[in-house]
Amino acid sequence: MDIRQEIKEKIKEALNKCDISDVEIELERPQDMSHGDYSTNVALVAGGNPKELALKIVENIDIEGVSIAGPGFINFKLPKDYFIDYLRGIDDSFGNNSINKGKRILIEYTDPNPFKQFHIGHLMSNAIGESVSRILEASGAEVKRGNYFGDVGPHVARTIWGMMNSSDMPDEGSSLERKTEFLGNSYVYGSEMYEKDPEIKTQIEEINIHIYKKDSEEINSLYEKGRRWSLEHFEEIYKKLGTSFDYYFPESEVFEKGSLIVKENLGKVFEESEGAIVFRGEDYGLHTRVFITSKGTPTYDAKEIGLQHKKIETYPYDESITITANEQADFMKVAWKAYEELGGDKSRLKHISHGMMRLSSGKMSSRKGNIITGEDLLEEVEKLARGKADDVSLSEKVAVGAIKYSILKQSPSKDIVFDFDKSLSFEGDSGPYLQYTLARINSVIEKAETTSEMKDYSENAEVLVKLITRFPEVIERSVSEYSPHYIATYLIELSSSFNAFYAKEKISDDSNNLAITKVVRIILSKGLHLLAIPTPEKM
């Protein structure tokens, strides 16, 4: 039986002896480990005098190391033998659980649009989505990764107009970097002219219609070329970030289905308004949104309806998770409410929204205009990392670790400030600090002069040993809240504790200390995997 469940059963038995039942028993980990390993406030919520009830519970409970604190908190301090046995049983599966065993989960994230830049928001969505995917896999779920991208729409028309009116079109032998730079410049040019010149605005709107109809040979050719270049470039970025998608959901494959469903339900779920088709969200405490424009083209909302049908047809899931920026929250509420009114099961849909990223210095410039892209950030951090790690492969891993940790160390919904110096530090609250600690452990184990056997541990190891036992609970909380930040902050605390232990104890020639070190390696390796942060063997 799990030790937490065992303690709860003992508390329940003690309460029954006090003629108290139907009280929810909660156990917490005291922040100060000197107060014990678990604590409960059951005496404060059961009614009556908390101090007197706490005394009665302690008198009737068959557990050693029980004490009362404050107005009636009951603390439990577990014996040393418990921790020694616990560490002996740890292997590579440590931290896995069965919370979502047998569950089929589809998670959609990243979602960069071809013909446009891979911006910082896509970087954030990717970091969160990949980590959440791995955390859910560790909870027993079958997870499939999906990527939804806008390969049709006004932004594509603007880029193609820019391509048509440019004199420096790359040939197929040009580098992918040159091709994507051209696409980025074409989009910027097309967008500027769309806003400045009414005649060009009309031209771009006509191109948009031709893209949907696929009735222009010239536009089709430019479209296929630009789409292919963009997607090849995105794959390079995904490889660097450690992501591989199971399914791709292009808007070009869902807009017809979405449009058809909306039109078929005109007068039922949707209504006409000034030539457009809208969903009256106010009827549900939301807001009205256009699903089909007056020109007959579908909006993101209609495409979302098509996407939801495509997803369930592609992978019959138990839960479908979508990760986007906070600014998409209202759109998702309306689109998913419309989906529900159409008969879709909205209860199986979950939206995880993330905040925005800004730079602490504000000094970084983009090589593709006035927008700092996700690529710009990756390249800048890699360049700075080379000052700490000359090896190109290692500097790339350090850069990815620095950026991902900065994103994942706090709740996804919060905005973050990216600080170049702090994020790349090999000390303190950073991804490279975790990577460096694991590399140090690898080196210590490789040079060990003894075998590892856990029979005892010193006072210097006590905090570290107790932190080790908390790892499964940290993962459970990350699973239940779909949030990697609990794992990120735990790994920092664990690494700090290990490095303090390392500074005071000999490890390579002490079998107990070596056994503890090997367990820490298991946890750090597992934890960094769950955060999708690379783990260099040496640094």
pLDDT of residue 211: 95
Measured between alpha carbons, how far is residue 416 from residues 257, 322, 404, 508 in Å? 38, 20, 12, 40
Alpha-carbon separation of residue 148 from 253, 390, 401 (angstroms): 10, 37, 25
State the chain's mean pLDDT as an integer: 94
E-assigned strand segments in 280-318:
289-292
289-292 sheet: strands from edge to edge: 271-273, 276-279, 289-292
Per-residue tokens: 62: 């068959």
∠ CA 497-402-427, rounded to 5°: 35
Cα–Cα dist 48/26, whole Å: 18
Question: What is the predicted pLDDT for the residue at 9?
Answer: 92
| CATH fit for domain 3-78, picks 3.40.1190.20, 3.60.70.12, 3.30.470.20, 3.30.1360.70 | 3.30.1360.70
**What separation in angstroms does the CA of 246 have from each of 27, 111, 204, 223, 236?**
39, 13, 34, 24, 16
Round to whole Å and give the CA distance between 327 and 292: 21
* Residues ≥6 apart with Cβ < 8 Å to 177: none
Q: What is the pLDDT of residue 362?
A: 58
C-alpha 320 chain-centroid distance: 15
Quote the distance between the C-alpha of residue 232 and its chain's center: 23
Least confident of 30-34, 422-426, 454-458: 30-34
Residue 525 to residue 533: CA distance in whole angstroms? 9
- Looking at residue 349, the DSSP 8-state letter turns out to be E
Q: Where are the domains of the chain?
A: 3-78, 380-530
Structure confidence at residue 172 as a pLDDT band (50, 70, 90): very high
When pLDDT is averaged across residues 166-184 and rounded to a whole number, the result is 93
Q: Beta partners for 66?
A: 76
pLDDT class for 64, splitting at 50, 70, 90? confident
User: Strand, coil or helix: what is 403?
Assistant: helix
Q: What residues pair up with 361 in beta bridges, in sequence order?
A: none
CATH architecture of 380-530: Orthogonal Bundle (1.10)
- The answer to whether 3-78 and 380-530 have equal CATH topology is no
Alpha-carbon distance of 484 to 323, in angstroms, equals: 13
Cα(226)–Cα(162) distance, rounded to whole angstroms? 11
Is the pLDDT confidence value at 34 over 90? no
Average pLDDT over residues 432-458: 95
Give pTM, 2 decimals.
Answer: 0.94
What is the bridge-based pairing of β-strands 319-325 and 73-76? unpaired
**For 446-478, what is each residue's pLDDT tens digit?**
999 889 999 999 999 999 999 999 999 999 999
The answer, yes or no, to whether residue 262 has pLDDT greater than 50, is: yes
Backbone Cα Rg of the chain: 28
Task: State both tokens at 18.
Answer: 């006090």
The values of phi and psi at residue 293, to 5°, are: -75, 170
**pLDDT score recorded for residue 433:** 98
**Model confidence at 389: pLDDT above 90:** no
349-354/319-325 β-pairing:
parallel
Please report the pLDDT score of residue 222 as a whole number.
97
pLDDT band for 2, please (50, 70, 90 cuts). Answer: confident
pLDDT band at 47 (very low <50, low <70, confident <90, very high): confident
Res 236: pLDDT? 96
Task: Kindly give the pairing relationship between strand 276-279 and strand 289-292.
Answer: antiparallel
The lowest-confidence range among 326-340, 350-364, 519-533 is 350-364
d(CA 87, CA 515): 8
